[in-house]
Structure 1
Amino acid sequence: MEKVTILLVDDHKLIRDSWSFILNSDPRFIVIAETSSGEEAIQIAAQKTPDIILMDVNMSPVNGFDATKQIQKISPESKVIGVSMHTMPAYAKRMLQLGAMGYVTKNSSKEEMIAAIIEVSEGKKYICEEVKNILAQQELDETAAQGDMNNLSRREIDIIKLIKEGMSSKQIALELDISLKTVEVHRYNILKKLKLKNTAALVNFINIKGL
């Protein structure tokens, strides 16, 4: 059986050494190169066309996003798995948009890293359990909030629109010809109905939903 060839890209030598030891100890894999530089990773990918590239997202000056984008152009056969300390789904989504086939965090276990490599080498996409759980929770939260949108009154929806325009409570009161206290009561009720903690969360919710 032909071994899966791997390029390690991380700016911490200890992490590269650990990955290299773990992967080379498995008869299915062989680490053919490693580097601490996104720029060098692009060059190695062009020269050696590894099957899998474990790509640290947080590097400088060339980060994992930019390196992945370039590698997709010059070595499309190489499949990138993003690796990061960040559990934010936005990082995983961005890497996949740029052509990566997988995403794991540095909290992932050895078993999960190996599972990711196998899945991606077979042409499948892989997102680690930690990020998948966060994504699932976000979707549940958004669905719950979306359901509560039906409970908003016409006046509350008007106020949300004015909040989106950046108006303060005082400006909203003048615009709608109601008292400042009434605006504050409406704002409190909006947050309660949408299960949001504060105005910042409300603005974020408005932007996500495109309200």
Structure 2
Amino acid sequence: MGGEVRIVVADDHRMVRKAWQLLLSAKQQYTVVGQAANGAEVLQLLQTMRADLVLMDLDMPVMNGFDATEQIKKRYPWIKVIGLTQQKESGYIKKLFALGASAYLTKNASDEELFEALEHVLDEKRYLSREVSDVLSKSLLTPPSEGSADQVFMGLSAREIEIVKLIASGHTTLQISNTLHLSIKTIESHRRNIFKKLQVKNVAQMIGKVKDRIV
């Protein structure tokens, strides 16, 4: 893609968004045209502005990066999405690529790797973070077998599965927040999403639905 590349950055931490904007501004061809604190805000921005690419944090409240990516690719299939997260599980990566994202980067990636990913994506190629590519490349090429964890928890992200297991083992919201180094607000948002996806109304129903599937 030649010329200016218009980018929206999405992360629930304002300082992280500012850091991305500062980094991208160092390259003349990249212009940050909008910032969002969650997936719903990304979709609102895209209704009123033209963008070529979204740098998308996957763990956000209100609407996470997976759901936002799915909606973006349905409404604006030409927009590229690069997912950024701390997670390295194969289920996370497979799900994001299945939704139409073009790249998966861990937040430990260097500045140079981010720009390398941008170049690949804009050249119509997919990019997988170096930190996980060696470990997961084989897994990504192998479809999940029937009854595997990926299929059992098909509707849940890797982070949501982690939270389900912690809730089922008796952890409180505060304890989960401390364990995962996420805000209480984020944990509560994940909890609401879990209940919605599993179609349950409380913890007891949730545990009853997954008790035979949690390893």
Structure 2 partner of 1:187: none
Partner of 2:116: 115
What TM-score results when the alignment is normalised by the length of structure 1? 0.63
Instruction: State how far apart, in whole Å, the 1-side matches of 2:30 and 2:90 are.
Output: 28
1-structure distance, mates of 2:81, 2:121: 8
Q: Distance in 2 between matches of 1:47 and 1:119?
A: 27
What is the CA distance between 1:134 and its match in structure 2?
1.8
Match of 1:189 in 2: none
Cα distance in structure 2, aligned partners of 1:49 and 1:122: 19
Q: Matched residues in 1 for 2:139 and 2:54: separation?
A: 29
- Would the aligned equivalents of 2:38 and 2:65 in 1 still touch at CA under 8 Å? no
Structure-2 separation of matches of 1:61 and 1:40 = 9
**What TM-score do the two structures reach when normalised by structure 2?**
0.62
Task: Give the percent of matched residue pairs that are identical in Structure 1 and Structure 2.
Answer: 35
- State how 1:125-140 maps to structure 2 within 5 Å: 125-136=126-137
Query: 1:126 Cα shift?
Result: 0.7
Residue 54 (structure 1) aligned with residue 35 (structure 2): no
CA contact (8 A) 1:89 1:134 kept: no
Tell me how far 1:114 sits from its aligned partner.
0.8
Q: State the secondary structure of the residue aligned to 1:19.
A: helix
Partner of 1:75: 76
State whether residues 42 and 71 of structure 1, in contact with CA within 8 Å, keep that contact through their aligned partners in structure 2.
yes
Opposite residue 91 of structure 1, the aligned amino acid is Y
Q: Which residue of 2 aligns with 1:20?
A: 21
For residue 12 of structure 2, what is the aligned residue in structure 1?
A: 11
In the TM superposition, 1:25-174 aligns within 5 A as: 25-136=26-137
Name the structure 1 match of 2:157.
none
Max Rg structure:
1
* Maintained 8 Å contact 2:59/2:65: yes
More displaced stretch, 6-15 vs 85-94: 85-94
Gaps of 5+ in 1: 143-203, 205-211
Contact 1:57–1:64 (CA under 8 A) maintained in structure 2: yes
Higher helix share: 1
CA distance in 2, matches of 1:96, 1:44: 23
SS at match of 1:32: strand
DSSP-derived class of the 1:103 partner? strand
1:111 shift after superposition: 0.5
Q: Which letter maps to 1:97?
A: A
Q: Cα distance 1:75–1:136, how it changes in 2: closer, same or farther (>3 A)? A: closer
Deviation at 1:46, TM superposition (A): 3.0
Task: Give the AA of the match of 1:30.
Answer: T
2:39–2:64 contact (8 Å) kept in structure 1: yes
**Cα shift readout 1:108-160 (whole Å, capped 9, x = no counterpart):** 00001111111111211111111202214768xx9xxxxxxxxxxxxxxxxxx
For 1:49 and 1:75, how far apart are their aligned partners in 2?
10
How far the C-alpha of 1:45 sits from its partner, in A, is: 2.1
Count of aligned pairs = 141
C-alpha separation in 2, matches of 1:54 and 1:89: 20
Gaps of 5+ in 2: 143-212
Question: What is the CA–CA distance in structure 2 between the aligned matches of 1:138 and 1:36, rounded to whole Å?
Answer: 32
